[in-house]
Amino acid sequence: MARKDLLKGLMEAPAPSSETPAPPRYERGAIGAVSKSINDLRSRAIVDVHPDMIDDAGLRDRLDEDPEGLAALVESIREYGQQVPVLLRHSPNEEGRYEVVYGRRRVAALKALQQPVKAMLRELNDKELIVAQGQENSARKDLSFIEKASFAAQMVAMDFDRKVICDALSIDKTVISRMLSVTDAVPDALIRKIGSAPSAGRDRWLLLAGRAEGRSLDELLDAAIGPDSDARFEAVLAALQTPKPSPAAPRILAGADGDPLGQARKTKGKTVIELTGGGRAFADWLIDHMAELHRDWQDKNR
């Protein structure tokens, strides 16, 4: 009879519960092993949850709303159904409700369709939720550098240590430090206004961060204009482009009678004297008497 009950429990899908289940007590031997296997299967079971019972949770991981992408996902699910389950946890604040750990866009699409959400349920505290969200993000190739950097900065603001952040994003401490150097130098308001900027990688964000130092936020926000996030990034970077200093105007050289002999100009590391027209004969004399003139200059400066 006991084995029949165990197999019956294996075939039944678990009903979602808002209460944290007590740790199961396993019997020793074969019955205990089967009981543990059944409990493991239940923890991986897929349940249907009405989308209106699901709330958002965790950190913001996307900088762009992407309504076109969401509309495409809605049509895909309408035609083929939900192929990949989302991960939910029981709401710690309201009994009978759930919070999304990852799969926000799928939940939004199913809410638009008013179809039940196929989900796995886990008992997660806030720290475990954010780490799970970060691990899911690290496996996605569509998140840009700045979106991952922003996610890391949010974890720092919540007092997560660097090891946890590295584990959550599957990134080493050197990369995390570079990410945080960008989010420290670039105001969050500017990052939000620019958006994901998928074409701008780490090096270009580091360049922008270096140029943004000391600039006013209003100036940076005013520069962030464009039809998409990549265009806004380029506009800000162009506005921060340090203009090259204009070369100094050449100095006109004149003889004792006031007639022009040529010009002199100073550049970095050298001075160039050009004698033209009536100054060419003087240039020949100057070359022949250069040593004598230099000696006179040395004597005078002693």
pLDDT digits (tens, 9 = 90+) for 141-164: 567 889 889 888 988 888 888 888
Report whether 152 contacts 138 (CB < 8 A): no
Query: Is 269 exposed, middle or buried (CB count within 10 Å of its CB: 0-12, 13-18, 19+)?
Result: exposed
* Beta bridge mates, 265: 272
Measured CA to CA, the distance from residue 171 to residue 140 in angstroms comes to 13
Per-residue pLDDT, 5: 47
Report whether 208 contacts 241 (CB < 8 A): no
Per-residue pLDDT, 224: 92
What is the token pair recorded at 6? Answer: 């165990």
Per-residue pLDDT, 61: 65
Are 209 and 230 found together in one domain?
yes
User: What number of CA atoms fall less than 13 Å from residue 268's CA on the CB side?
Assistant: 3
Are 203 and 215 found together in one domain?
yes
Rounded percentage of the chain residues whose pLDDT exceeds 90: 19
pLDDT tens column, 117-143? 999 888 888 888 888 877 776 655 567
179 is a domain residue: yes
Are 119 and 167 found together in one domain?
no
Query: Is 138 exposed, middle or buried (CB count within 10 Å of its CB: 0-12, 13-18, 19+)?
Result: middle
Q: Which of 123, 140, 157 is the last residue of a domain?
A: 140
Q: Which of 219, 242, 265 is the last residue of a domain?
A: 242
Residue type, 82: Q
Q: Which of 226, 242, 258 is the last residue of a domain?
A: 242
In 3D, which of 198, 154, 158 has the Cα closest to residue 180? 154
What is the token pair recorded at 144? Answer: 């840009």
Strand order in the sheet with 260-267: 251-254, 260-267, 270-275
Are 135 and 173 found together in one domain?
no
25 is a domain residue: no
- Residue 158: give its domain's CATH number: 1.10.10
Across 218-223, average pLDDT: 91
Per-residue pLDDT, 35: 57
297 is a domain residue: no
Are 161 and 134 found together in one domain?
no
Report whether 162 contacts 173 (CB < 8 A): yes
Instruction: Give the domain extent around 75.
Output: 45-140
pLDDT tens column, 230-271? 999 999 999 988 665 566 788 888 888 878 888 888 877 788
SS3 168: helix
* Residue 81 DSSP symbol: -
Across 170-193, average pLDDT: 90
Give me the helices (H) in the chain, please.
2-11, 29-43, 67-80, 104-113, 126-138, 145-157, 162-169, 173-185, 188-194, 202-212, 217-223, 229-239, 279-288, 290-301
How many independent structural domains does the chain possess?
2
Are 160 and 114 found together in one domain?
no
Are 124 and 209 found together in one domain?
no
Are 135 and 171 found together in one domain?
no
Measured CA to CA, the distance from residue 144 to residue 200 in angstroms comes to 8
- Residue 96: give its domain's CATH number: 3.90.1530.10
Per-residue pLDDT, 206: 93
Are 78 and 118 found together in one domain?
yes
Rounded percentage of the chain residues whose pLDDT exceeds 70: 79
Instruction: Tell me how far CA of residue 198 lies from CA of 21, 185, 201, 233, in angstroms.
Output: 43, 19, 7, 10
pLDDT tens column, 9-44? 434 444 444 444 444 454 555 555 555 555 554 556
In the block, residue with structure tokens 């230099």: 294
Across 281-286, average pLDDT: 85
Per-residue pLDDT, 244: 54
Per-residue pLDDT, 125: 84
130 is a domain residue: yes
Residue 216: which residues within 8 A CB-CB, separation 6 or more? Answer: none
Instruction: Tell me how far CA of residue 48 lies from CA of 13, 51, 59, in angstroms.
Output: 10, 9, 24
Are 93 and 117 found together in one domain?
yes
Residue 231: which residues within 8 A CB-CB, separation 6 or more? Answer: none
